Amino acid sequence: MNRKTLFALLAAPLALLANPADAALRVFACEPEWGALAEELGGNLVEVSVATTALQDPHQIQAKPSLIARARNADLVVCTGAELEIGWLPVLLQQSGNAKVQAGQPGNFAAADYVRKLDVPGQLDRSQGDVHAAGNPHIQTDPRNIAQVATALGTRLQQVDPAHAADYAKRQADFAQRWQQAMTRWNTQAAPLKGAPVVSQHKAFTYLYDWLGLKEVAVLEPKPGVEPTASHLQGVMSTLKGTPVRMVIYAAYQDSRASDWLNTNAGVPAVKLPFTVGGTEGAKDLFGLFDDTVARLLAAGGKK
């Protein structure tokens, strides 16, 4: 084999690897669920970078230089919005100097703009804790919201990258069909949970409860984002004597000590939910996120 032939054989795989990167729309996602959705809708046409992991509190992220650099090179920023990232995203975008992804531009997409918000406060009072004026931002715990966001994000991908609009439309239609089938399955599986009384560690599952018909009897945090005190936990336990619950729920990124305390002292099963893609071993993608969420809820509280 001569040197020219050898070079051609070595270069061929490199070229195959390089082509998708050359064609990619660079997407910067704030949370894992939106990164996963962008990959579902964009396939090889998008190169996705995610700012946070499932084991990080999305409220509490620092605008580090590495994140600013990724935002600087992005064609599209996809975040939750509804003030979830208010502590770090505005600074990150401002310091990126990337005009394409500033608020109000086509390259800036806020998922919460496309769903009905719950827990919208009648009046804003910061003494009530980490309350969001636009409503509860944890919209990704309801697959119906994912469906609505997917429709809007698919349209936005077509707008930002019109050369591949037909490809995005095709992928969006395919995702919508598979997602609808999955929701039908989840609804059937989760039917025994309807009306089940539960306790939350943090008020993070409002949309999940709205979807499945669960009833939140108490929250371990006395105010959103405020760690529970011993006296508050005792008060919750007193409440539960008159209103038994099937489980206490916490997110994978949270310290489980408060839920474990209730489990130990009141015998209430403590259930860790993935909360987003990557939160548990089973939540490897968006479909796995809800497969695992429903399975964990049923295992702990599927029987009355």
Q: What pLDDT digit, counting tens, does each position of 48-69 carry? A: 999 999 999 988 898 899 999 9
Check whether 9 has a pLDDT greater than 60.
no
Beta carbons within 10 angstroms of residue 299's beta carbon: 11
The amino acid present at 165, given as its one-letter code, is A
Beta carbons within 10 angstroms of residue 178's beta carbon: 13
Measured between alpha carbons, how far is 42 from 166 in angstroms, rounded to an integer? 11
Are 34 and 18 spatial neighbours (Cβ–Cβ below 8 Å)? no
pLDDT given at position 13 = 38
pLDDT given at position 129 = 63
Distance (Å) of CA 36 to CA 20, 104, 192, 203, 276:
18, 23, 29, 24, 10
Rounded mean pLDDT, 119-136: 73
Structure tokens at 81: 């919005």
Q: What pLDDT digit, counting tens, does each position of 153-175 carry? A: 999 999 999 999 999 999 999 99
Distance (Å) of CA 179 to CA 34, 40, 144, 166, 184:
15, 11, 9, 20, 9
Q: What pLDDT digit, counting tens, does each position of 97-126 carry? A: 999 999 999 999 999 999 999 988 876 666
Beta carbons within 10 angstroms of residue 124's beta carbon: 9
Q: How confident is the model at residue 132 (pLDDT cuts 50, 70, 90)?
A: confident
**Torsions phi, psi for 112 (to 5 deg):** -65, -15
Q: Residues with Cβ < 8 Å from 192, sequence gap 6 or more?
A: 298, 302, 303, 304
Burial of 269: CB neighbours in 10 Å, binned 0-12, 13-18, 19+: middle
Rounded mean pLDDT, 258-286: 96
168 or 11: which leads in pLDDT: 168
Q: How far apart are the first and last CA of the chain?
A: 73
